[in-house]
Every structure is written in structure tokens, then in C-alpha cells.
Structure 1
Amino acid sequence: MIVEELIREIGAGPSGPGIAAVFDFDGTLIDGYSAAALYEHRFRNLELGPGELLRMVRASTGPTLTEEQFTGLVHDGIRGWVGRPESELLELGERLFAGGIAGSLFHEAWRLVESHQRAGHTVLIATSATLMQVAPLARELGVEHVLCTRLATRDGRLTGRIEGAAPWGEGKIAAVRDFFQAHGIDAAASHAYANGDEDVPLLAGVGRPHPVNPRPELAAEAARRGWPALRFHSGHTGRFDPAPALRTATLFGALFASAGAGIALGALNRDRRLGVDIATAMFDALAGPLTDIRVEVVGARHAWSHRPAVFFINHQSTMIDFLVTTRVIRTGFTAVAKAEVKQMPVVGALFDMAGVAFLDRANRDRAIEALRPAVRTLRSGTSVVMAPEGTRSLTPRLGPFKKGGFHLAAQAGVPIVPIVIRNAGEIMWRNARTARAGTVQAAVLPPISTDGWTPADIDAQVHAVRRLYLETMADWPTR
């Protein structure tokens, strides 16, 4: 089954909290297994013994574990944490999430979670993983309900045991049924998403089962029962692939070459603006064809109807967002960027030449002072690009919008032009070192006039524009 079809079905189907959408975690919401990041951390810190490592490998490559076997494996894993504060483990979970787990989120899963949330369904994550593994992603997805393996504590410290039964196999569907009963959920109308052989009982326990990239036993059972499988895109091939590294090197090579040419030609002609325009146009011309990263733009006409303007971009990937910006705006723009960018080789020099306003986010007064030249830049006829979120997000979730860009546009008397980027993180997420091939989608929305805005209007405008981004990402325009 195609994810887009399912999203349309969810939107057109019954709504309300009496219908649940149950998502497994490892292999369903994320690509791979979050425990791998934990084992890697323990291995680096010499906390993982050879016996436990051997048992873990056997469990991951052998037949499906029974609930008793899985519980034994969990006890193996947490034995070394006895006596340590639970808060320390939760903090480690946050670090592991930011360091890699966030980048393994299936974007198809994220869109399905959002589609269920728009329908008012009760979204639940049911997983045998521990709270430290799943809590950061649940927060990012806005999922309130989590059934997971809970580690027992005494006075805030881990005891080396688990609370109750681990949600594994029959134990998982039992926990889900209890949740359904407590929350008045109609199981026959509800959805479940899972990938593991042990999750057949979970999928069989709802009226709308969705195997996701199913493992062999689950795939066979799904075919026998007529459950249509969903295929989520994975960036991992399971074999050595030099292409991402070469692609990324080419992408940065195109950037450095374009920046160097722009700086040189701008200096030769004593025209900084010409140099910047040459650099951005050259990067746009080189980067896509050389790297197999395509940019698909709808509403491009809106980028040209009112200039100068303050262009907003939602921000997840610095390099890919810059590629989209050069494709959409092309010439006649500068940017607002964090102060650290000024120290980057070549890029910092190009941005400095372009008159970029560098913001010190740790100092509010300096940030306000840095925006004043941007007002003059706009009034002189050059557009400004900025990210209203202020920083890159770890996932496709849209962060809160800051007010600076709204004040900037109102003071300069220019419109705001929203550029909504749908999937930059699929190509190169925030902490990625390499870029994937693929198509980045961007939608340029009609300019928003700031005529008549007063400081008292800003809060309402921030809310309205952010809502516009959310609505566009939920219902992508075709032209």
C-alpha cells in the first residue's frame, strides 16, 4: 500500500479519540534499533561484557524471542545500571536521540502520525524499548501516550529490575488492550503499525493492521491474512556505499567553487553584490546536476512578485536549505544567520561579503542591534532570508517561530514570503555527515503584506504564519 493513499483514507475516514493509532518504535517509527546506540555507548565506555554482547547478537539473528527470553535480555542490559539515578539514564537517552536516533526517523511514519493527530485519533507508541529510548521521539512527535518497558527504581535509583511485564509479543497486545479499555477505544476501528515477527498479535488485535517493512515471518503472516504492507524508505543499504560521501564532497566542492568565483569576480569588478549573485547562481547551476539532489518547487512565481521581501524558510538542514534558497530566490538576497557561521571557511567570507546579519543568540541586545543593518538592506532593495525557528530542528517537526523576522519586515515595510521546505531532513538531517540523493520539495506561498502592522499585531501574525506552514505541510499544494 502507498503511504499517500493511506493518509488520504485516514483524512476521509472516521475521526475522534475513540479510534487509536498504535505505533511500534524500533523498525517502525525509526529505521533500525535504538538499542544499537545504547550498546555502542556502553561498548565505548567499557560497560559491555563479551557474554552479554554474544547473547545480544544471538537474539538479534536467531528465531523470534519468547516474552521470557526478551525479559532476560533486558535484565542483562540493565544489570550494570543498578544504583544509578534514573535521571542519568533519561539524560543519556536525550543525548543518543540528538546524536543519531533522531536522524533515523522514517519521514513516512512522521506523516502518518500527523495524519492521525489531525483526525483527532488517540496516538499511542507501544514498544518493548525503555522510556529513555522512546521518550525523546514521543515528545518530538507530540505523542502523549507511551507503553514501554519501565525500569524499576527505589528512591530515584535503578534497581536492576523492570516494572510489570515488558510489552513484547502477547505482552504488548495485552497492554494495548488494557489501554483501549481504560480510554474507551474501539479496537475494530483502530490502526496498528509494526515491523517485527513478534508483533503479529498486536496487528491481529486491531481492525486496521499495517505491517511496515515486515520481517520474513510477519510478511508471510501478512500475506496469508491479506494485510497490505507499507514500505518506508530507508537510507541504509546494508553494504558499503561510497556514493553518499562522494555526493557530499561534490556538494561542498560546488559551494566552495561558487563562493570563490563570486568573491574573486566581486573584487575584480568592485561590486560585492554582483559577486554574491554570481556565487548563488553558480551554486544553483552546479549543485543539483552534480549531486543527484533535485529541487521541486511549486508557486515559484510568488518569489518574484514582490521584491524586496523577507523570505522565511523552515530550517532542518543548512546545506539543503541553502540549495533550496538559491533555487527559489536566485539573486538579490542576503540572509540573517547565527554568529557561528561567520567563522566557517569560505562560507563565512561569502556571507560577510553579502552583508549577512550575524546574530548572537546568547545576547538579545546584540541580536536586536544586528538586525538594524538588515532593515537598511531591505530598504535599499535587497531581500533578506531567515529561519523564523531560529535553529535547525532534529526532525521534520516545525519549531516555535521567533518574532525577529516579523519585526524586521514590518520596520522595513516589505512583505513576508514563506518558503515551506517539506523534506530537507530526508536528504541531509541536522547532524548528518553525508547527503542522500533525492528530491527536495519546496512551496513558495503568496506574499504576506505587513502594511499597517504595529508591535501589538506581531504575536497574532507569528501564530498565523506558523499555522500556514503547518497547513501547507499537511496538504501539499500542486501548483
Structure 2
Amino acid sequence: MSDPETSTAVTAADLMDAVAAAPEGPQVGAFFDFDGTVIAGYSVTSFMLHHVKNLDLHPRTTIDTLVSGWQGLHGEEDFRKFLGITLRTWAGRTPEELEKIGNRLFRDEIGPSVYPEAWRLIRLHLEKGHTVVLASSATRFQVEPAAKALGVEHTIYTAVEVGEDGTLTGHPDGRSPYGEGKAAAVKEFAASHDVDLDASFAYSNGGEDVPFLATVGHPAAVNPSAGLRRAAAERAWPALDFDGRPWTTPVEIGRTVATFAGMMGGFATGLGLGLLGGSRRAGLNLGIGLGGDLSLMASGVSLDVHGARHIWEAQPAVFLFNHQSQLDVLVLGGLLRGNFAPVAKKELANNVLFGGLMRLLETAFIDRADNAQAVKALEPAVERLREGTSIVIAPEGTRSPTPTPGKFKKGAFHLAMQAGVPIVPLVFRNTGELMSRNAMIIHPGVVQVAVLPPIDVSSWTREELDERIEGVRQSYIDTLAHWPGEG
């Protein structure tokens, strides 16, 4: 639907501006390819490696898959062969088995590779009320966990045949949405959902998706392959590359080791000086600040903080933070400086990196599987708040696989209500980009933090707590999508 002219290089901000200028409403579609567009890399790789690790994948299948991938896919026939190789791996398994594997792989491996730029585009389309669709030639076991985490209702994917015995046959069920097949699937979806394709948007990285992109009035080549880059130039489609994940180098490995040495050394020094002065709390505060400063300096990480004044406006308080990686711990030390105690899941008590430190910080460890124990474990935290020491807690209870915060648990909010103190939201924008969910290596860079105004919970009631909590969570999502100081 675009006339061939010249190449149009754009930025992510340009794409955001185009979406912001579009009409509101579900008649506008936003179709996102998945592998290479929303996530860096290919989700099938995580599935294949999972099967290799679990010794349930024949070596010949692995070799065939790798060779097929190295040779590249040059049409629907190549894709059908590649799909046949991968689907054979699942023959005899139930859909429920694959759903569990898909959810786990998304949480631990695939989710952390979501491009922040893609996340922000999806959020903006959702805010505009557009009909957002993940349109992929991958299976639902790869696509649906991502859609759920990203808040996307609609998916287009390769259906997998289920036999009479309820297990997968190893064959696709119908035509896969690849190449012209994806274009046909998008047109069919648009017709059944009253979507105006001329007013709609589409994003993809692969040359096979030229027909797919051509179905809409606002196509964009994102992280384009050589073939798609040429096609985009011929059609004057916007083209851009998202920022990729940084590579790990020996320098960064050394820096990471120095980071944790600096953290422990700084903390021990501060604590020792405080104890010499006769005050354990003063030592803890000095150690937290000194350990935070030394660890951030060693890692090459600096902080860019909006709203820092809110940290000091209403202490003691319950500080909330959206948990993305182990880097969050260092950021908290450098940001808050001291006078706080953490609340964390029980498993962290034995964490090789932070377990000992967290015990020294008088952390309240919660057994999430034991509600009665969890309530009892919070009692010391309430007492510390009443004595003037702030509490720090990740309301999600675990690290989120994407920039979208997970569901907030109620413990932090009960704490604030019982102790009569405010809640202060700390929004971490990109700790997961500098140190991904399960990574051990920290990459240098600037961590962006927004400190939101304190929230008075004195008038909250238990009856309205769910709604109040969701409002706080939404403030995180809104802040991440529209960062302070950016247009």
C-alpha cells in the first residue's frame, strides 16, 4: 500500500509519534511479528535447548534443526520442512505439557529478551485502544505466554494437530501463517474483527513478511534482515534497529567480580565503624551507603533519578520496587543509602550472592507457600516501621520476565496499613537490560529510576484493597510507558 520511493530511516521515537497521532479505537490494528521483532532471537532455540538438556531430543533432530537454521529459510517450502523437524520433537506429548514448558521458558529465558522499544510500542497501542495482535509463524506454546505477559489479547500462530488420544501428532493443523500465509491470516482476522487495515500498523524483521507488512497502511521494518531492508527501501517503509542486548566481555566479568567485592567490603567496613561507635543501626546505614557506592562504581553503573526528593519526604515508609534482576539490590543500596530493612522470599536466605548480606540487614524472609508463617514473619517488619526504620519490598514477589510488572501481592500494603506509614513507589526502568533476569554479569550503563510521590494509605479499607493495589501497579506501567522528562 506504499509507493516505491527512497529508504526512510526512523527512530523508535518516530514510531511512537506515528502511533500517538493515529485515531483511537479498536478499528485500528497493530500487528507484531514475534521472533526477532518483539524478542531478540528466536523462541524455538529455547525449546530445542530445553529438550537437549532433558535428554529427550534425538541428536539427529538437533543436527537437522541447526543445519536448517544455518541454511536459512527461503520460502514456504523451506519453512514447512523446518517446522516439520521441530514439531516432530513434540509428537506424543500433550498440549498441557507444552503449555507448562512454554510458560517456564518464557519466564526464565524468552521474556527477558523482549525489546524495551517493542514493549513501549505495544503499551502505546493498547493505551490508544487499538486491536493489538501477536502474529507469528511460531506455535501457541511460544506465542501465548508472551501475549499474556504483554497484555495482548489476540494471537495468530501455527496450530499444531492433536490426535484422537489427546497428544500432539507432530504435524501442523492447517496452513501456517508464514509469508503469504501470514498476510492471508491478517486479512481474515481484520475482516472478522472490523479492523481497518489501511489505518493499521504492522512490525516485522524478516524478508518473508513483506506480504504481511504490505497488508497495512503503516508498515515498519524493525531489526530488518538484508532482504527486508532492501524491500523497505524500495517501498519507502520506515526502518530501524532496536538497541540490542550488550555482549559480555572479560572486562565486564572482572567488573562484576569487583562489584560484589566492593559491595561486601563497603558494607563490612561501614558496619564495623558503626559497631565501634556503639550503634548497629548506624553501622548498617553506613555500610549500605558505602557498599552501594563502591559496587555501582566498580560495575560502571550510575543512577539517573527523577523525583529523588520523595525518598526523604515521608520516612519511615514502605518502599516498593519493580523487580527485574539482581542489579536491583545494588541500586537500592545506592538510592536509599540506609535506614531500611528488606522483606524477601525465603529462598533468598540461601542466595550465594546476597543471602548473608540480607540476613545482616535483618531481612524478614517470607515463606510464600505458608500463609500463616508469612503473616507471622511480617510482624517484625511492622515493628521496625513503628520504630522508624523503612521497609523495602518487591510487591510482585519475584523478578518479572518483561518490563510489565507482575501481579502485586498484598503483603506490602498490609504492612503500610498496619504500621500507619505511606507507600513510596520506586520505578526501575532498565535494570533488566543491564543485568537480565537470571544473569550473573552486570553491564555498565545508566539505570533510570523514577520515585513517585508517597501514597497515604491511612484511609484505605480491606474491602477496596484489590482496587487500590491495582491502581498502584498501573502507576508503574504508566510511568514505564511514559518516562518522566521524555516526550
The TM-score with structure 2 as length reference comes to 0.91
In the alignment, does 2:49 pair up with 1:40?
yes
Match of 2:144 in 1: 135
Deviations 1:95-117 (CA, angstroms, capped at 9, x unpaired): 32233112211111111111111
Is 90-99 or 201-210 further displaced after alignment?
90-99
What is the Cα deviation at residue 51 of structure 1? 5.3
In the alignment, the residues of structure 2 paired with residue 216 and residue 469 of structure 1 have an alpha-carbon distance, to the nearest angstrom, of 37
Structure 1: unaligned runs, 5 residues or longer: none
Show the 5 A alignment for 1:44-443.
44-45=53-54, 48=57, 52-62=61-71, 64-155=73-164, 156-235=166-245, 237=247, 241-317=249-325, 319-344=326-351, 347-443=354-450
Change over 3 Å in CA distance of 1:458–1:139 after alignment to 2: closer
Change over 3 Å in CA distance of 1:323–1:187 after alignment to 2: same
In structure 1, the residue corresponding to 2:238 is in which secondary structure?
A: coil
In the alignment, the residues of structure 2 paired with residue 47 and residue 364 of structure 1 have an alpha-carbon distance, to the nearest angstrom, of 37
Note if contact 2:314-2:454 (Cα within 8 Å) is conserved in structure 1.
Answer: yes
What is the Cα deviation at residue 208 of structure 1? 0.7
Note if contact 2:424-2:453 (Cα within 8 Å) is conserved in structure 1.
Answer: yes
In structure 2, the residue corresponding to 1:304 is in which secondary structure?
A: helix
Alignment: residue pair count: 476
What is the Cα deviation at residue 36 of structure 1? 1.4
Deviations 1:386-414 (CA, angstroms, capped at 9, x unpaired): 12222221211112222222222222222
In the alignment, the residues of structure 2 paired with residue 476 and residue 157 of structure 1 have an alpha-carbon distance, to the nearest angstrom, of 46
What is the Cα deviation at residue 53 of structure 1? 4.5
Is 270-279 or 339-348 further displaced after alignment?
339-348
What is the Cα deviation at residue 213 of structure 1? 1.0
In the alignment, the residues of structure 2 paired with residue 131 and residue 198 of structure 1 have an alpha-carbon distance, to the nearest angstrom, of 20
Match of 1:462 in 2: 469
In structure 2, the residue corresponding to 1:384 is in which secondary structure?
A: strand
Change over 3 Å in CA distance of 1:452–1:102 after alignment to 2: closer
In the alignment, does 2:17 pair up with 1:15?
no
In the alignment, the residues of structure 2 paired with residue 203 and residue 152 of structure 1 have an alpha-carbon distance, to the nearest angstrom, of 28
In structure 1, the residue corresponding to 2:263 is in which secondary structure?
A: helix
What is the Cα deviation at residue 71 of structure 1? 0.8
Counterpart AA for 1:199: D
In structure 2, the residue corresponding to 1:408 is in which secondary structure?
A: helix
Q: Identity, % of aligned pairs?
A: 44
Change over 3 Å in CA distance of 1:457–1:170 after alignment to 2: closer
What is the Cα deviation at residue 119 of structure 1? 0.8
Structure 2: unaligned runs, 5 residues or longer: 1-9
In the alignment, the residues of structure 2 paired with residue 332 and residue 258 of structure 1 have an alpha-carbon distance, to the nearest angstrom, of 16
Note if contact 2:404-2:477 (Cα within 8 Å) is conserved in structure 1.
Answer: no
What is the Cα deviation at residue 423 of structure 1? 1.9
Change over 3 Å in CA distance of 1:345–1:126 after alignment to 2: closer
Is 338-347 or 101-110 further displaced after alignment?
338-347
Counterpart AA for 1:276: L
Is 373-382 or 454-463 further displaced after alignment?
454-463
CA RMSD of aligned residues (A): 2.2
What is the Cα deviation at residue 475 of structure 1? 2.1
Deviations 1:425-462 (CA, angstroms, capped at 9, x unpaired): 11222222222222221111111223344444534432
Is 335-344 or 170-179 further displaced after alignment?
335-344
Note if contact 2:263-2:292 (Cα within 8 Å) is conserved in structure 1.
Answer: no
In the alignment, the residues of structure 2 paired with residue 435 and residue 97 of structure 1 have an alpha-carbon distance, to the nearest angstrom, of 21
What is the Cα deviation at residue 63 of structure 1? 5.4
In structure 2, the residue corresponding to 1:100 is in which secondary structure?
A: helix
Counterpart AA for 1:41: H
The TM-score with structure 1 as length reference comes to 0.93
Question: Runs (4+) of structure 1 moved beyond 6 Å?
Answer: none
Is 193-202 or 307-316 further displaced after alignment?
307-316
